[in-house]
Amino acid sequence: MSQLFSTIALRGLTLPNRIVVSPLCQFSAVEGTAQPWHWQHVGGFAVSGAGLVIMEATGVSDIGRITPGCLGLYSDANEAALTKLRSDIGTYSDTPIGIQLCHAGRKASNRPTWDLHKGNVLPIAEGGWDVEGPSAQAYADGWPVPLALDAAGLAKVLHQFVESTRRADRCGFDLIEIHAAHGYLLHEFLSPLTNHRTDRYGGSAEARMQFPLEVARAMRAAWPEHKPMGVRITGEDWNDGGITLADAVMHAQAFADIGIDYITPSAGNIAPGMKLPQVGPGYMAGFAERIKREVGITTMAVGMIITPQQAEDLIATGTCDIACIGRGFMDDPRWGWHAAAALGVEPIIPKQCIRATPKHWPAYPMVHGGKLREGEGIMSHATRE
Ligand SMILES: Cc1cc2nc3c(=O)[nH]c(=O)nc-3n(C[C@H](O)[C@H](O)[C@H](O)COP(=O)(O)O)c2cc1C
């Protein structure tokens, strides 16, 4: 019995298996609005055999987007496009679709990855914008100094997270993930490297958690009771003086206490000078393991989960509850089908594609390795269209 292919309940949502497509920025929206690219990107993952697809970091305001090409959920046009996308996908797939809501804080107004050779920062002259954050400290030399959010600014940003939450519900999304990692606004509040506030939102580890917790609490109240909400946090800043795994456990506990359903610990990117550890298969899974063990909350492990057996072992050993996979799915948008075949499980596969499964296609092992099992490869010749 595969553990990876066992179901898991997150509140009122039961995932058919424990494979999740990690949020993947596409930098292909126009004024925050989804484009045809998103239909194929998310639509493809919705027939990938995954148990859940989480859409990319989606800005709760225009200036909260990482780049001008990032999705947003702050305008009626943004909402209309995502409503259509969600309902179109629902006509052919039962796969739950979640959305990650984000404010990029001082790391907003960047260029898409394919333009990074011109520098990270998108200048205002080229369509960039003024950025905001917990403190008036730039990410690095040459980056914009953010406007330090005052009480009115904090109230505005909290309201934007809540409004986007309501929009996400109207769009028909099944789950929300709050982005509090990778050096974006909520992470900037949590980390001592970026939060230099002297009001009640800074000064101690508890105070630095206050704004992210207020946002999460308000979002939770605006999101239907039966729908799950998770948070992507940082497991380690990997910078001297930054967030450690012990801090991350405390953050996870605080989010769990206010009704957050799962935690995905990622890491890094809060400030230059990051001391990246050895990166290899499952290199961040230890964060999920400790948070799961000490907090008891459902965890998703992310970071170079590559093979089906590796994902299976992570679940079977209790390291995490869910395997979250990014680049593996970009490389192979049928990853879930292939994992099912490798682990001897019936894939969730659209009827239109059944003839490419091991059962009906003798070439399967030639493409993906392994051996056909008894009763597989029965259609040796495509006898009709
Ligand atoms: C193209 C690309 C876009 C990404 N966009 C996001 C994002 O929108 N939100 C997020 O939290 N992480 C984002 N990530 C990080 C991935 O979700 C994932 O955590 C990371 O790639 C490690 O997992 P992997 O080794 O399975 O790819 C992105 C990564 C890539 C490669």
Sequence-ordered list of residues with C-beta below 8 angstroms from that of 81, at least 6 positions apart, any chain:
33, 34
Q: Is 57 in the pocket of ligand 1 (CB under 6 A)?
A: yes
160 and 16 share one domain: yes
295 and 364 share one domain: no
Domain containing residue 374: 350-385
374 within some domain: yes
190 alpha carbon, distance to own chain's centre = 18
The per-residue pLDDT for 4 is 98
pLDDT digits (tens, 9 = 90+) for 40-91: 999 999 999 999 999 999 999 999 999 999 999 999 999 999 999 999 999 9
134 within some domain: yes
The per-residue pLDDT for 358 is 92
249 and 374 share one domain: no
235 within some domain: yes
- Ligand 1 centroid–CA 40 distance in Å is 18
291 and 362 share one domain: no
295 and 379 share one domain: no
Q: Which atom of ligand 1 is nearest to the CA of 324?
A: 26
Q: In this structure, are residues 228 and 262 in contact, taking their beta carbons and an 8 Å threshold?
A: yes
Q: Is 99 helix (H, G, I), strand (E, B) or coil?
A: strand
Q: Which residue, 102, 122, 118, is CA-closest to 110?
A: 122
197 within some domain: yes
The per-residue pLDDT for 347 is 86
The per-residue pLDDT for 244 is 98
Q: Is 101 in the pocket of ligand 1 (CB under 6 A)?
A: no
255 and 319 share one domain: yes
Q: Is 232 in the pocket of ligand 1 (CB under 6 A)?
A: yes
Residues in the chain predicted with pLDDT less than 70, given as ranges, are none
Q: Is 235 in the pocket of ligand 1 (CB under 6 A)?
A: no
Question: What is the CATH number for 213?
Answer: 3.20.20.70
Q: Which residue, 280, 297, 277, 299, is CA-closest to 288?
A: 299
3 within some domain: no
- Ligand 1 centroid–CA 155 distance in Å is 29
Domain count, the chain: 2
Q: Is 56 in the pocket of ligand 1 (CB under 6 A)?
A: yes
pTM value? 0.98
The per-residue pLDDT for 385 is 74
Q: Which residues pair with 325 in a beta bridge?
A: 21
358 and 345 share one domain: no
Helix residue ranges, H only, the chain: 36-45, 76-90, 151-171, 185-190, 205-222, 245-257, 285-295, 308-316, 327-331, 335-342, 364-368
120 and 234 share one domain: yes
Per the residue annotation, which of 74, 139, 184, 364 is the catalytic one?
Answer: 184
> What contacts 24+ positions apart, CB below 8 Å, involve 278-285?
279/303, 279/304, 280/304, 281/305, 281/306, 281/307, 281/310, 282/310, 282/314, 282/319, 284/235, 285/314, 285/319, 285/320
- Ligand 1 centroid–CA 378 distance in Å is 39
Q: Does the active-site annotation cover 184?
A: yes
271 and 385 share one domain: no
Q: Which atom of ligand 1 is nearest to the CA of 177?
A: 11
Output the residue whose Cα is nearest ligand 1's atom 2.
Answer: 24
Element (H, E) at 179: strand 175-179
